[in-house]
Amino acid sequence: MARGIDVGTMNIVSARQDGSDTVFTQQRNSFVEIEYSDMAEQMLSRSQVLHIRKDDSVYVVGDDALNFANIFKQETRRPMSHGILSSDEKSAIPMIKLILEQVAGEPEHPRERLFFSTPADPIDSDLNTLYHQKTLESLLGDMGYDPEPINEGMAVIYSELADHDFTGLGVSFGAGMTNVCLSYYAVPVMTFSIARGGDWIDEQTARATGQKVDKVTSIKEDDFRLDFKTDVGGVEGALSIYYDNLLDYVIENIIAEVNEEDVEEGLDVPVVVTGGTSSPKGFEKLFQDRLNESNVPFSISDVRRARAPMYSVASGALVAARTEDGGYDDGAEAEAGAEAGEAEAESDD
Ligand SMILES: Nc1ncnc2c1ncn2[C@@H]1O[C@H](COP(=O)(O)OP(=O)(O)OP(=O)(O)O)[C@@H](O)[C@H]1O
Ligand SMILES: [Mg+2]
């Protein structure tokens, strides 16, 4: 068997095949530090909250971190920022290790093949992804897997463009980054990332409106839509402005990279958008409008949104791992996509 893992700035998601189903496991890539007491540790263990003790502290890790942060009036901390391990977070590696162990689980057999997503080096900052990639490789190797990195944009192509011969432009709008990949018959023609995503939208909106970042994030994730004009002056109005700005910035960089890479001009390709930041209603329409207004030097047949934006990178990593294992077939892949759609539908409830 084989596995795929999406190692994201905000979410870590694994995908594995179980018969004809794809099973996804997800944790928030964050943690909170609380003071140690025997009682607290016993309670945490009994309630199966993911946690780890170190000296006088207990770290609550993953999805539960947010609840504990609210109760103990703490800020959550993140092992990653801008798509890679954070150099400012001294506990980054033990925390991400714990989340990876929980999300990936034990390998089914020694050296099970596992593809994990990594971002391309960003073109708008001097961040370098090598240390991040090598560290994950060694953590996953220590867990008993045979790990292999896959570019996040390419994973989107694998999961979303099987019906298009793996040809098109895939864009993953995440928390810390936006990853772009132009692929022609499963061969990447251009891959790059930019160090802006949902976190950037939240930070800018918070600064503009004087709200706390956490508050802005929850307004954005709860009921924010991009398909109608919002009132000027409020958080939603500011969110719209920064969404617009992010899309223009991404398109500007696509044009610059296509020109630089000398991509053939006669191309006519579909565009697929995914990632948590692509969730608000109206997102793909806005991206399509902005693309139409721009002078992208190739033609675009349509802009579609992944059926399950939170799962498509993990799905694509799984497709890549299974293909290498000799297990790829169109039918199973289509089902992986359908399952992802169902998983999302369930989580919407
Ligand atoms: N319903 C929603 N509406 C708007 N934004 C959302 C929604 N749900 C999640 N997000 C945002 O999506 C982002 C997380 O998306 P995703 O899980 O794809 O990122 P990631 O893979 O962890 O990050 P990256 O790829 O940048 O490392 C966050 O900025 C989050 O606030
Ligand atoms: Mg991502």
Instruction: Grade residue 229 by pLDDT with cuts at 50, 70 and 90.
Output: confident
Claim to verify: residue 169 and residue 69 sit in the same structural domain: no
* Atom number, ligand 1, closest to the C-alpha of residue 313: 21
Q: Which of 11, 45, 77 is the last residue of a domain?
A: 77
Decide if 102 is inside a domain: no
Instruction: Give, for 141, the enclosing helix (H) or strand (E).
Output: helix 130-142
Claim to verify: residue 176 and residue 279 sit in the same structural domain: yes
Q: What is residue 299's predicted lDDT score, i.e. its pLDDT?
A: 92
Q: Is 92:61 a contact under the CB 8 Å cutoff?
A: no
Q: Is 58:40 a contact under the CB 8 Å cutoff?
A: yes
Instruction: Grade residue 349 by pLDDT with cuts at 50, 70 and 90.
Output: very low
Decide if 184 is inside a domain: yes
Question: Pairing mode, if any, of strands 299-305 and 268-274?
Answer: parallel
Residue whose CA is closest, atom 28 of ligand 1? Answer: 175
Q: What is residue 1's predicted lDDT score, i.e. its pLDDT?
A: 85
Instruction: Give, for 137, the enclosing helix (H) or strand (E).
Output: helix 130-142
Claim to verify: residue 175 and residue 57 sit in the same structural domain: no
Claim to verify: residue 178 and residue 290 sit in the same structural domain: yes
Claim to verify: residue 172 and residue 300 sit in the same structural domain: yes
Ligand number nearest CA of 127 is 1
Ligand number nearest CA of 311 is 1
Q: Is the pLDDT of residue 219 over 80?
A: yes
Claim to verify: residue 181 and residue 274 sit in the same structural domain: yes
Ligand number nearest CA of 156 is 2
Q: What is residue 330's predicted lDDT score, i.e. its pLDDT?
A: 52
CATH code of residue 268: 3.30.420.40
Q: Locate 19 and state its tokens.
A: 């018969």
Instruction: Grade residue 99 by pLDDT with cuts at 50, 70 and 90.
Output: very high
More confident residue, 151 or 338: 151
d(CA 329, CA 31): 38
Decide if 218 is inside a domain: yes
Claim to verify: residue 172 and residue 277 sit in the same structural domain: yes
Decide if 96 is inside a domain: no
- One-letter amino acid identity for 23? V
Q: Is the pLDDT of residue 121 over 90?
A: yes
Q: What is residue 328's predicted lDDT score, i.e. its pLDDT?
A: 55
Q: Locate 8 and state its tokens.
A: 């994201």
Q: Is 295:261 a contact under the CB 8 Å cutoff?
A: no
Claim to verify: residue 170 and residue 301 sit in the same structural domain: yes
Decide if 116 is inside a domain: no
* 7 CA distance to ligand 2 middle (Å): 7
Q: Is the pLDDT of residue 344 over 60?
A: no
Select from 115, 124, 226, 140 the least CA-distant residue to 179: 124
Q: Is the pLDDT of residue 149 over 70?
A: yes
Q: Is the pLDDT of residue 47 over 80?
A: yes
- CB 168 less than 6 A from any atom of ligand 1: no
d(CA 318, CA 13): 11
> How many structural domains is the chain composed of?
2
- CB 11 less than 6 A from any atom of ligand 1: yes
Q: What is residue 346's predicted lDDT score, i.e. its pLDDT?
A: 41
d(CA 287, CA 172): 13
- CB 8 less than 6 A from any atom of ligand 1: yes
Q: What is residue 98's predicted lDDT score, i.e. its pLDDT?
A: 96
Decide if 87 is inside a domain: no
- CB 302 less than 6 A from any atom of ligand 1: no
pLDDT tens digit string along 188-211? Answer: 999 999 999 999 999 999 999 999
- CB 149 less than 6 A from any atom of ligand 1: no
Instruction: Grade residue 214 by pLDDT with cuts at 50, 70 and 90.
Output: confident
Claim to verify: residue 176 and residue 290 sit in the same structural domain: yes
Stretch among 116-120, 219-223, 277-281, 345-349 having the lowest mean pLDDT: 345-349
Claim to verify: residue 178 and residue 301 sit in the same structural domain: yes
pLDDT tens digit string along 273-332? Answer: 999 999 999 999 999 999 999 999 899 999 999 999 999 999 999 999 998 876 555 544
Half-sphere exposure of 310 (CA within 13 A, CB side): 21
- CB 83 less than 6 A from any atom of ligand 1: yes
Q: Is the pLDDT of residue 334 over 70?
A: no
Q: What is residue 177's predicted lDDT score, i.e. its pLDDT?
A: 98
* 202 CA distance to ligand 2 middle (Å): 16
Q: Locate 92 and state its tokens.
A: 């980054």
Claim to verify: residue 178 and residue 279 sit in the same structural domain: yes
Mean pLDDT, the chain, whole residue set? 91
Q: Domain range spanning residue 53?
A: 30-77
Q: Is the pLDDT of residue 105 over 80?
A: yes
Q: Is the pLDDT of residue 180 over 60?
A: yes
Decide if 125 is inside a domain: no
Q: Is the pLDDT of residue 4 over 50?
A: yes
Claim to verify: residue 67 and residue 173 sit in the same structural domain: no
Decide if 13 is inside a domain: no
* 111 CA distance to ligand 1 middle (Å): 31
Tell me which of 5, 6, 7, 10 to substitute to probe ligand 1's pocket, judged by most ligand atoms within 8 Å of the beta carbon: 10
* Atom number, ligand 1, closest to the C-alpha of residue 177: 26
